[in-house]
Amino acid sequence: MAYRHHCGLAARGRARLLCANPAHYSRVVPRGHARPCHECVHAGAGDAGEHSHYHTERCYLDRRYHHSFNHQLDLLEDKLDHFGRGCHYDALTPMEPKILFEDGDIVVVDKPAGMIVYADGKHDYPELDIWLRKKLNSEIFLVHRIDRQTSGVLVVAKNEKAHAFLKEQFKNREVRKTYRAFVYGNFKDERGIIDKPIGSARGGLGPRSARTPYGTVRDAVTMYRVIRNGKDEKTNDACSYAEIFPKTGRTHQIRVHFAAVQHPVICDGLYAPGRPNLLGFERLALHALSLSFMHPHKKEMTFEAPLPSDFLAAEKLLTPLG
């Protein structure tokens, strides 16, 4: 089956015809089935909530559905799983999301790994937005997203005014985010800053890169502290536990940055293909731990998603060096 990539090039009449290679992932939708881009309608975004430069307000390109770039990457990960290059996320049975807080303006959710934030048009994964609409019996407005394989905290607006207020904070980088991750290898320093611009790894196609970025390159900064260097008690492979503070919100920023410094996130089939699954993980070892922002009523609030069971088990499996 032929695949066609749609982005700014397509909008200028230079869409590129590709093959069915797993790296080529944006399937042409038959004529007559055009729909607005789901991510543009909801102003969706990468892990930290900034709107992707690949999207316009509403995307109609040659009567074909413009699949969001984030979901193209999700599809690529699925193909890598199929070819045995990554963790098998589809084997996960997502747990029920947990509502951490709710009032008339916002709802804060602890999303389990394996649940997609909103539909990608290609899979029937459990969808957080549909679950919330049914649970609340009302409309919701997505503010940001985290990857399907990532667990943790998200804030969702319940009305347009709250949505605009929160989006502005993400845009201005006023939201404080904390993640936990288990990564391959050991660190020399206890704390660090990864200040590396992120672009495409293949000039517009494929995963993101901070080592050899192509195309539109955007600044990206990630701070971290090492909680513990150690090794997998079963395999003796070196691995570490880190707390991470992304200061910008690029697609896959944490995953790309840590891969760029030779410490990719454990079980990351896209940025660490072929690496062993350590510490018992069967999904991406990344958890959105906390989120701090200003409530629409001008009150600063912080919410934390408890560590999931696989993180608690991994803490015990990470044995000290020596």
Of residues 122, 130, 227, 125, the one with CA closest to residue 183: 227
Mapped onto helix, strand or coil, the DSSP state of residue 121 is coil
For the CA atoms of 262, 48, 132, 269, what is the dihedral angle to 10 degrees?
Answer: -20
* Residues whose CB is less than 8 angstroms from the CB of residue 104 and which lie 6 or more positions away in sequence, other chains included: 158, 159
SS3 content of the chain, % helix, strand, coil (to 5): 20, 30, 50
What tokens appear for 260 in the block? 């760029």
> In angstroms, rounded to a whole number, what is the distance separating the alpha carbons of residues 114 and 236?
28
What tokens appear for 128 in the block? 């957080």
> In angstroms, rounded to a whole number, what is the distance separating the alpha carbons of residues 152 and 154?
7
Handedness of CA 160, 153, 56, 126 (dihedral sign): negative
Q: What number of CA atoms fall less than 13 Å from residue 299's CA on the CB side?
A: 6
Strands 16-18 and 3-5: antiparallel
- The residues annotated as belonging to the active site are 147
